Amino acid sequence: DAGVIQSPRHEVTEMGQEVTLRCKPISGHDYLFWYRQTMMRGLELLIYFNNNVPIDDSGMPEDRFSAKMPNASFSTLKIQPSEPRDSAVYFCASSFAHYGYTFGSGTRLTVV
Amino acid sequence: DQQVKQNSPSLSVQEGRISILNCDYTNSMFDYFLWYKKYPAEGPTFLISISSIKDKNEDGRFTVFLNKSAKHLSLHIVPSQPGDSAVYFCAAKRNSGGSNYKLTFGKGTLLTVNP
């Protein structure tokens, strides 16, 4: 089991550019979560999916953020246009039902 | 509005001594609590959990205590080892009352265990 796979590991982009973060959950897991980690706010839940359907996106900060899960093995988090305050580490996690989460290694995003 | 609070950003202890990490929560609907450990450049990994029907759960060197009346939990590590140096996140969720599997995390506490 390769675990939750996120790509890229690091992303540096200029303000105004579109950024796409990718996640491959663990096979068989039916929940997928996107979190953002910052010093000020810790780990914040952005959005989560159940069986590929978005359930709660109340944590998505603005319309510039969007997330999709076209199938059980892939999800994307897109920021368009990106801003310096979006700089953070973005984590994807998956779980089976109410069992514990497995996190990916994260994507460190820097917007300059 | 922080529903899960870890008021100590950092903690430093000597190897072999006890480490105590604290966590407070405000949402009385939370009924399941977890601790995650995070090393640099890695994702958080599950460490230990406790249900609200218990007040203590032990796993080797790690023990979590829950005080529901005070809405407080703590993680004890005895004895502390240098490899325990990491950021520890407290997390909570509501297991009952329907499908709500999202975890709410605190900001984390950086534990440094000195040799």
Give pLDDT tens digits for B11-46.
999 999 999 999 999 999 999 999 999 999 899 999
Which residues on B lie below 8 Å from A95 (Cβ)? 101
pLDDT digits 0-9 by tens, A40-92: 888 999 999 999 999 999 999 889 999 999 999 999 999 999 999 999 999 99
pLDDT band at B92 (very low <50, low <70, confident <90, very high): very high
- Name the closest residue on chain B to residue A107, using Cα atoms: B41
| Average pLDDT over all residues of chain B | 93
Cα–Cα distances (Å) from B53 to A101, B10, B30, B66, B95, in that order, read: 21, 29, 12, 9, 12
Which residues 72-101 on chain A approach chain B with CB closer than 8 angstroms? 91, 93, 95, 97-98, 100-101
The pLDDT of residue B97 is: 60
Cα–Cα distances (Å) from B24 to A25, A49, B3, B82, B95, in that order, read: 31, 28, 8, 26, 18
The pLDDT of residue B8 is: 94
> What mean pLDDT do residues A27-32 have?
94
The pLDDT of residue A41 is: 86
* Interface residue B97 vs chain A (CB under 8 A): no
